[in-house]
Chain A
Amino acid sequence: MKITIRISFFCAIVMLFAACKEEYNVKIPSPGTGYLVVEGFANLTPNSQSTIKLSRTTSLDSSYFYKTESGAIVLLFDDVNGAYNLFETSPGVYTSNAATLEPARKYRLRIVTRDQKEYNSTWVEGKMSPAIDSISWKQKSDGVQIYANTHDPQNKTIYYRWDYTETWQYNTILFSSIVYNPTTNALDPRDLRNNDIHTCWISGNSTNIIVNSTERLANDVVFEKPLTFLSFSTNKLQNKYSILVNQYALTKDAYTYLDLMRKNTEQLGSIFDAQPSELNGNIHQLQDSTEIVVGFFYATSVQQQRMFVSRNQLQSYVYITTGYESCREDTVDNVPDKIREAFRPGPDVVIGVSPVYFGPAIIAYTYTSNYCADCRARGGSTTKPAFWQ
């Protein structure tokens, strides 16, 4: 066992529970590689597709990656009609044709991998998710907390899961109105209709498992289940933020499994947290039922709701870290040689910001780094999403 320790974290001076947390990466043998991972569910929403993602576990070292499982046969059965075929639409992603699955039926998944191993899930009951009542938010001292609220008047759902896609709009700190023309070594006015690089939209998916049980409540009511926290130290609330929440209903077993996976992988480290334990899902290999298969197959409908929060809805003044705090402008005289020198190609691409006038004459231009003027440098897209309002 080769141990490499990398210390990059802080240690507080007064220790107690803050104690001392350091990053720690140990190369340990990873016998647990190559197990099948099955993620997905039978989609009971009328006229919709079901998607199953197949992948393999990989070893635990710095080079881990998402190893998709291609070339498998994936079949979805209901207990009356027989099979629906799922087709591989991209590597490791298997999607059915749009169909309306009957919620009252039971479903199972069958997978035959390329190495001719057959995996079957147990029969699972379909559950319909009730509509989302609302996606709400509250301003806290250091950010905005987003919540889900829902209820089932029939008190039947009890176990819920959510995931979400979030999108936010942001601006660079410097507005580029000019663009460098390498043929003339001049800075031309920017086409702001088609080539504005000041405002971007960026999206991301949830990375946490969010599940909830109302088992202990008298009514099947979910009130302010925290979904995500928008810290003022990120730029998510610089302008406007939007979240699209999907809500699923789970069976008790699926809930227990996902909650254990959540505890195992997201909630470790404090002194009183439970120790990690083995996960046992409902998908088994036909010949060897002890083979580890990660994942739990379930059948649910999906309910969606989108919500926006814009900065001007926040109460009082809040300082939001934009990530552009260290941006500054430089000036270059309006002389072609000097412009060419300033804008010459290289690792540190710069972008013109604006002309400097002396009376009617442009005597110089300001410029800055690509990061400070081109919002796409942070992964966003200048294309406004269709849903944006």
Chain B
Amino acid sequence: MKFYFCIVAAVLLLTTHFAIAQKEKKMITGSFEDMRVEQFLLELQRQTHYHFYYDTAQLDTIKINISVKNEPLEKVLEKGLAGTENTFSIDDNNNVFVMRGMLVKTALPEGYLDADNPNKTRSSGVLEEYQETEIKQKAILENKLYEVGDKNAPSQSAGINVAGYIRDAKTGEPVAGASVFIDKPRIGTSTDQYGYYSIVLPRGRHVLNIQSIGMRDSRRQIMVYSDGKMNIDLQSQVLALKNVIVSSAKASNVKSTQMGVQRIDIKAIKQVPVAFGEADLLRVVLTLPGVKSVGEASTGLNVRGGSADQNLILFNDATIYNPSHFFGMFSAFNPEVVKDVELFKGSIPPKYGGRLSSVLDIKSREGNKKDFTGSAGIGLLTSRVNIEGPLIKDKASFILGGRTTYANWLLQALPDQYKNSKANFYDLNLNANYEMNKKNTLFVTGYFSKDRFNLNNDTTYGYSNQNVSVKWKHIFNNKMNATVVTGYDGYKYNITSDANPVNAYDLKFDINQLYLRAGFNYYLNSKHTLDFGGSTLHYKLHPGNLQPLGDKAITTPDVVPAEQAFESALYVNDKYNVTQNLTIEGGVRYSMFNNMGPQTINNYAPGLPKTEDNILDTSVYSQGQVTKTYHGPEFRVSARYSITDNLSIKAGYNTQRQYIHMLSNTTAMAPTDIWKLSDPNIKPQFGDQVSFGIYKNFKSNTIETSIEVYYKHIKDYLDYKSGAQLVLNHHIETDVINTVGKAYGVEFLVRKTQGKLNGWLSYTYSRTLLKMDDPSVGESVNKGAFYPSNYDKPHDVTLVGNYRFSHRFSTSLNATYSTGRPITLPVGIFYYGGSARTLYSDRNAYRIPDYFRMDFAMNIEGNHKVHQKTHNSWTIGVYNLTGRKNPYSVYYTSENGKVQGYKLSIFGSAIPYVNFNIRF
């Protein structure tokens, strides 16, 4: 290889011509400005009678800017090459050898030179000077050559493993999802959520490139001898405006094996205009292809035809059951604390499980390890503040964020009928981490959110999420690390009504889960990366507890017995680089679900509809007894074939099982929806998906395009019967029906990640159809034929665009169009009870008018001086710029004896907003 040849050549040259005495000194005067090294050397050659020997490939790319007056060649070269990686030596015959880095020096035993040239060593001069240079270059880390491993270690035949953390130089926080790669040969990896990477490289010298969103691209010169550590600090981009990138790394969409994975950085989230200016992560996720919702008052995501409960929403490992505030108008995640969001909608890694359609993995920041900082924001509806800082400098840090609302003024401004409405919410985040030593890091996170609202009646709704977790990350060695996390997730809601003292009640519902998960990453060699681990989760649900409220209430207490279960899984995944172009990722997750006693289970007559009349008898299970076990494998396979450097095709197959079900007969995800565990009468849901995609990047990966096609099949999804009673139902299996679903679609995405103009345009065509054809069910919706789901919106076009006018001023434009969602419209009119009334038949047979919305926002940053006490910024925008009254629903109601149709829009006009943010 050329590289080795050069080393050998240089060594030969040095050893053979090592005397240095310079006979005549030609003085040089001149100014060398903005010169490449080669130009500089040629210029020197022209001015002197020396011959210069160098390999252009080894010359540094840094531009030289020096001016000299009457100085000898050595000094000029020293000055000129300071700050580059090049070194030089001059022999007696007026030959100048320009080389790269310390190759020469490190390759030679030092004693050899000393022995050979006892009195004078030019070479040691070179070495000393190099070392001086190295000190000078400390600021320019990229030019420094880092040695990894022990240079005297025997040469390893297999690759050498380099691992370490990528951190933000300013805050010490880990940089997740950064790509770390070398160009020749093309080897790359990306950091995990802790900023940890592990890469297998050939022995020798490499340029390690590091790229990440919001960070300056960086590289490191490394000399790899044997397995070792390499931590890298990245400079953040002071101007957050530049990058609005949704990919974890440039070109990663082409290179990764995963399909249907999208990452959004918080900076991108903050730029997308939203209603009332609340940076809203879920709203931005909704702009991605394949993600839909039933309407503006719902943050329930419908990913590739899945229902809202089929998404596993993880916030720092904690499962969030209700990700919304304010009856679904906002997402429950504080944008000041969130770092990034990753959505898996196609190939879901086997470490995740328990939900059918997607995983939304939300990561919060870890907190500044170096300084105390904070930020605060004031918006129309909420204020938020967060503080972060080191607990032990560079070792431990925390971040504490809080958000609360003062939205009541808004409700007061509404027409009289809403005057008595009240809404309050807050959320709190606390994350702390402690790097005990190089191998062990501990993380503690807590999340708490609470909502209370009352929409002008005497019923008050409240719900809250509570999550705590402790995580330990341990690095065994470069090749293997482990993460163990344990925690508690809680979700509860309650409904109280005290208007009528006799009927006053308090209804409670809660879900509690305790979990333990362990995961291992094993970087076996450059061909295989293994992930394996296991998890267990204990559920305890209190599916309804009704109690009288107040002294006069005669409400009968009614408690639906608690449900409990274990959900456990083991998984293994191998990422196998078959050839440089072909990578296969294959994994299997074996999940098992045990519904546990104490429980009383109704046994229904086989083959007959599950109705109260068909209950044969009941089985009573005591504490610790298993009432029913479901188990089975889930396969997660994907493959990528690179046709060229920027064109690849991928295919994947995924199966999923889900053991917990949300039951809802409302269109939007209501805070009062019931969750139910699988039991002997309720089967787990099963889904599988095949997908195929083509990915092509243009203009050095700054424009990404992709086409993904998928087909998905869902079995035993629970839908409700007509007139189902879901609250406080002791035998809910009689009110639900197993449904078969199919979803298919094609998603087109064009994304420009860089430049003044950036953003993405996506188009999705998709269908989601459900069918109830269970013969053992008495009645079935639409007589057993397929009907579209609530969120079946075939056409969907979304544009998210940003244009940066200057470093301080940028604008964003958001436009979205979709087919109207299906609704059930009346098929006729009848008179009953003194009024005309509507007759309903087939479910979801019609559609509301199409949806179109355009939003606009301007971001104005304060000045960019790095050293000032506070940095501030303004966001001014208009949501629903065209003021279009997009229908949320169309419905008919009987009023004063007549039937009247209405169209309800959540936002009936353009909504301007302003947001002020301050960082300190």
Q: Which residues of A contact B (CB under 8 A)?
A: 1, 3, 5, 9, 11-26, 28-33, 35, 37, 39, 55-60, 64, 66, 163, 205-209, 216-219, 221, 223-224, 256, 258, 260-261, 264-280, 290, 292, 294-295
Contact = CB atoms under 8 A, between A and B. Distances in A.
A294 B414 contact: no
A270 B722 CA distance: 19
B837 interface: yes
A149 to B, nearest CB: 10
Interface of B: 297-298, 327-329, 410-411, 413-415, 417-418, 421, 455, 500-503, 505, 546, 554-556, 558, 665-668, 670, 672, 722-723, 728, 779, 781, 783, 790, 824-841, 843, 846, 849, 885, 887-894, 896-897, 899-909, 911
B495 to A, nearest CB: 11
Contacts of B417: 18
Given A37-B832, A217-B554, A31 B666 contact: no
Given A20-B907, A57-B829, A292 B888 contact: no
Contact of B831 (A20, A21, A66, A223): A66
14 contacts: A11-B909, A16-B410, A20-B907, A24-B887, A30-B826, A35-B830, A57-B830, A60-B828, A60-B829, A64-B899, A218-B554, A269-B904, A271-B889, A290-B783
Contact of A60 (B827, B909, B911): B827
Contacts of B838: 60, 264-265, 276
Nearest to B824: A276
A271 B668 contact: yes
Contacts of B825: 26, 28
A12 B414 contact: yes
Given A18-B415, A207-B896, A24 B901 contact: yes
Given A14-B413, A206-B834, A30 B828 contact: yes
Contacts of B829: 30, 57-60, 64
Contacts of B722: 260, 277-280
B502 A223 contact: yes
Residue of B826, B829, B899 ringed by the most chain A CB atoms within 10 A: B829
Given A223-B503, A265-B893, A272-B670, A21 B903 contact: yes
B602 to A, nearest CB: 18
A24 B781 CA distance: 26
Residue of B500, B665, B827, B889 ringed by the most chain A CB atoms within 10 A: B827
Contacts of B839: 32, 35, 57, 279, 292, 294
Contacts of B909: 11, 13, 15, 20
B410 A14 contact: yes
A23 B900 contact: yes
A274 B835 CA distance: 21
B792 to A, nearest CB: 14
A207 B415 contact: no
Contact of B665 (A12, A14, A258, A275): A275
Nearest to B841: A32
Contacts of B505: 216
Given A21-B904, A32-B827, A271 B297 contact: yes
A56 to B, nearest CB: 8
Contacts of A56: 830
A307 B311 CA distance: 56
Nearest to B723: A260
B412 to A, nearest CB: 10
Q: Give the secondary structure class of A's interface.
A: loop
Contact of B891 (A15, A208, A261, A269): A269
Given A32-B841, A223-B502, A277-B723, A294 B830 contact: yes
A57 B899 CA distance: 13
A12 B415 contact: yes
A320 B631 CA distance: 69
A55 B831 contact: yes
A218 B329 CA distance: 38
Contacts of A22: 885, 902-903, 905
Contacts of A15: 905-909, 911
Contacts of A18: 414-415, 417-418
B837 A20 contact: no
Given A55-B830, A209-B833, A224-B500, A24 B841 contact: no
The 4 closest A-B pairs by CB, nearest first: A20-B908, A32-B828, A32-B827, A277-B722
Contacts of A16: 329, 410-411, 414, 418
A267 B546 CA distance: 24
B828 A275 contact: no
B853 to A, nearest CB: 13
Contacts of A272: 327, 666, 668, 670, 672
Contacts of A14: 410, 413-414
Given A26-B901, A216-B546, A207 B833 contact: yes
A217 to B, nearest CB: 5
Contacts of A221: 502, 554
B611 to A, nearest CB: 12
Nearest to A39: B832
Contacts of B888: 19, 271
Contacts of A278: 722, 779, 781, 840-841, 843
Nearest to A31: B827
A257 to B, nearest CB: 8
Residue of B558, B824, B902 ringed by the most chain A CB atoms within 10 A: B902
B411 to A, nearest CB: 7
B414 A266 contact: no
A256 B612 CA distance: 15
Residue of B501, B666, B896, B904 ringed by the most chain A CB atoms within 10 A: B904
A102 B103 CA distance: 110
Residue of B781, B896, B909 ringed by the most chain A CB atoms within 10 A: B909
A64 B841 contact: no
Given A24-B890, A271-B888, A274-B665, 6 more contacts: A17-B455, A18-B415, A26-B825, A60-B892, A66-B836, A270-B455
A22 B903 CA distance: 5
A41 to B, nearest CB: 12
Contact of B558 (A5, A216, A295): A216
Contacts of B728: 216
Nearest to A14: B413
A212 to B, nearest CB: 9
Contacts of B298: 271
Contacts of B889: 269, 271
A58 B837 CA distance: 10
B307 to A, nearest CB: 14
B860 to A, nearest CB: 25
B413 to A, nearest CB: 5
